[in-house]
C-alpha cells in the first residue's frame, strides 16, 4: 500500500472531515440519515392523494392506512434518533465525571494507600478540593483491586453504590459518605474546613483498610 492509499484509509476511519479537516458533525449526519429514511419510506408507501380526501372512493381506506403507517414509521425513526442523542449525552456526562475523579492518576500503577498519602499532602498544601478527590479515588481503586466493584468510566458513583449493595453491602454506608462529600465539594463547590477534611480522610482510610482485608464469603 502506497502513502496516498494509506492516508485515504486513515481518513476513512477518522472522526475528522476528509476535505476540510473539520471534526465530523455526527448530529447533522444523524439528521440527514433520518430524513433519507423518511423520504425512502414515503416513496415506498403507495398513497393515492386524489382519493385521500374522498371517502368512499376507490383506494380511500388503503391511502389512509398508508398515511398512518408512514407517520408511525417516521415517529419511530425520530424516537430512535432522540434516544441516540440521549444515550450519547449520558455516556459523555458519565465519562466526564468518572475521568474527572482519576484526572492525572494512573490507576494501573497507583495504590489506594499511595492515593491517601497524596491526599494528605494536597490537604497540607491547601488543595482541599483535590484532596477530597484523591480520597474517593483511593476508595474506588481499593474496591477495584479487590475485584469487588471494577472501575469503569461509564459508571456513575450512584451505580457503583447500587452494585456494591449486591456484592458487599457492608461497605455501602462508608462509600456513600465518601461520595456525598465528594459531590458537595467537587461538583457543588462547597468549602470544606481542615477539621472536616481530617475526619473525612480518617473515615476514607478506614474504608480502604476494610476493603483491603475483605475476603469474599
The pLDDT tens digits for 179-210 are 999 999 988 889 999 999 999 999 999 999 99
Contact criterion met (CB below 8 Å) for 143 and 87:
no
Q: Which of 76, 101, 126 is the last residue of a domain?
A: 101
Question: Does 18 share its domain with 58?
Answer: yes
Residue with cell 398515511: 67
Question: Does 116 share its domain with 208?
Answer: yes
Nearest to 48 by CA among 36, 57, 39, 40: 57
Number of H helices, E strands in the chain: 9, 0
The pLDDT of residue 3 is 52
CATH code where residue 160 lies: 1.20.120
The pLDDT tens digits for 110-127 are 999 999 999 999 999 999
Contact criterion met (CB below 8 Å) for 135 and 178:
yes
Any alpha helices (H) in 45-183, and if so which ranges?
49-52, 60-101, 112-124, 128-145, 157-167, 172-182
Question: Does 139 share its domain with 202?
Answer: yes
SS3 label, residue 16? strand
The pLDDT tens digits for 57-109 are 555 556 556 666 666 766 776 777 777 766 766 655 555 554 568 888 888 88
Q: Which of 46, 75, 101 is the last residue of a domain?
A: 101
Total count of domains within the chain: 2
> Considering Cα of 182, then 184, then 188, then 193, what sign does the dihedral take?
negative
The pLDDT tens digits for 119-152 are 999 999 999 999 999 999 999 999 999 999 888 7
Q: Find the domain containing 177 and state its range.
A: 112-212
Q: Which of 80, 101, 122 is the last residue of a domain?
A: 101
Long-range pairs for 65-69: beta carbons < 8 A, 24 or more residues apart:
69/45
Contact criterion met (CB below 8 Å) for 105 and 174:
no
- How far separated are the first and last CA of the chain, in Å rounded? 57
Residue 106 lies in a domain: no
Contact criterion met (CB below 8 Å) for 122 and 134:
yes
Question: Does 97 share its domain with 18?
Answer: yes
Question: Does 149 share its domain with 208?
Answer: yes
Confirm whether pTM is higher than 0.75. no
Quote the cell numbers at residue 3.
502513502
Amino acid at each position: 500500500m502506497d502513502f496516498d492509499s494509506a492516508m485515504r484509509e486513515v481518513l476513512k476511519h477518522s472522526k475528522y472531515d476528509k476535505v476540510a479537516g473539520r471534526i465530523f458533525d455526527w448530529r447533522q449526519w444523524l439528521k440527514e440519515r433520518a430524513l433519507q429514511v423518511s423520504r425512502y419510506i414515503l416513496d415506498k408507501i403507495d398513497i393515492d392523494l386524489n382519493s385521500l380526501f374522498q371517502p368512499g372512493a376507490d383506494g380511500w381506506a388503503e391511502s389512509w392506512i398508508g398515511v398512518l403507517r408512514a407517520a408511525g414509521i417516521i415517529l419511530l425513526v425520530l424516537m430512535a434518533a432522540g434516544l441516540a442523542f440521549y444515550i450519547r449525552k449520558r455516556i459523555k456526562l458519565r465519562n466526564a465525571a468518572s475521568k474527572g475523579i482519576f484526572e492525572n492518576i494512573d490507576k494501573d500503577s497507583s495504590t489506594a494507600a499511595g492515593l491517601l498519602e497524596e491526599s494528605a499532602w494536597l490537604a497540607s498544601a491547601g488543595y482541599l478540593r483535590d484532596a477530597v478527590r484523591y480520597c474517593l479515588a483511593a476508595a474506588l481503586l481499593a474496591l477495584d483491586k479487590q475485584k469487588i466493584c471494577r472501575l469503569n468510566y461509564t459508571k456513575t458513583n450512584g451505580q457503583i453504590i447500587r452494585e456494591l449493595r449486591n456484592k458487599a453491602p457492608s461497605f455501602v454506608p462508608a462509600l456513600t459518605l465518601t461520595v456525598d462529600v465528594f459531590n458537595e465539594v467537587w461538583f457543588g463547590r462547597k468549602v470544606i474546613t481542615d477539621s472536616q477534611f481530617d475526619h473525612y480522610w480518617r473515615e476514607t482510610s478506614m474504608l480502604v483498610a476494610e476493603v483491603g482485608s475483605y475476603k469474599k464469603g
